[in-house]
Amino acid sequence: MSRIFTTSVASVYPHYLTKVERKGHSRAELDQVIEWLTGFDAAELADHLAQETTFEEFFAAARLNPNASLITGVVCGVRVEEVEDPLMQKIRYLDKLVDELARGKKMTSILRGG
């Protein structure tokens, strides 16, 4: 089992936020991307962060967007669509969406048209 599975989302969230803010994007945009992928609204996300939910627990509770499988590309040298472990793939989906936001991709493209 990968160490990231037992890492709290709250410990990684500030890094996501720093990454997107450095490129001129906001917390609201980051949260919008997370909400699209997981189905968590602002209050649910805040609760997961406050409770220091692990990635394993976070994605177990998520209502994964049915279009998540449209997320493709490379994160850390690995194609997200080829990741075999379902939990790791969901984590990589999130990483990819954060990367796309930081790179300035249009929100409609990041959210796969919806």
> Domain segments of the chain: what residues?
3-103
| Domain 3-103: top CATH class | mainly alpha
CA 54 – CA 81 distance, rounded (Å): 23
Task: For residue 38, give the H/E element and its range.
Answer: helix 27-38
Please tell me the predicted confidence (pLDDT) of residue 33: 97
CB-count burial class (<10 Å; 0-12, 13-18, 19+) for 94: buried
Local structure of residue 14 (DSSP, 8 states): H
Output the pLDDT for position 113. Answer: 78
Give the model's pLDDT for residue 29. 97
Q: Model-level pTM greater than 0.85?
A: yes
pLDDT at 101: 97
Sorted by sequence, the CB contacts under 8 Å of residue 91 that are 6+ apart come out as 4, 55, 59
**Positions of the chain with pLDDT under 70:** 1, 114
The model's pLDDT over 38-70, given as tens digits with 9 standing for 90+, comes to 999 999 999 999 999 999 999 999 999 999 999
Q: How is residue 111 written in tokens?
A: 């959210």
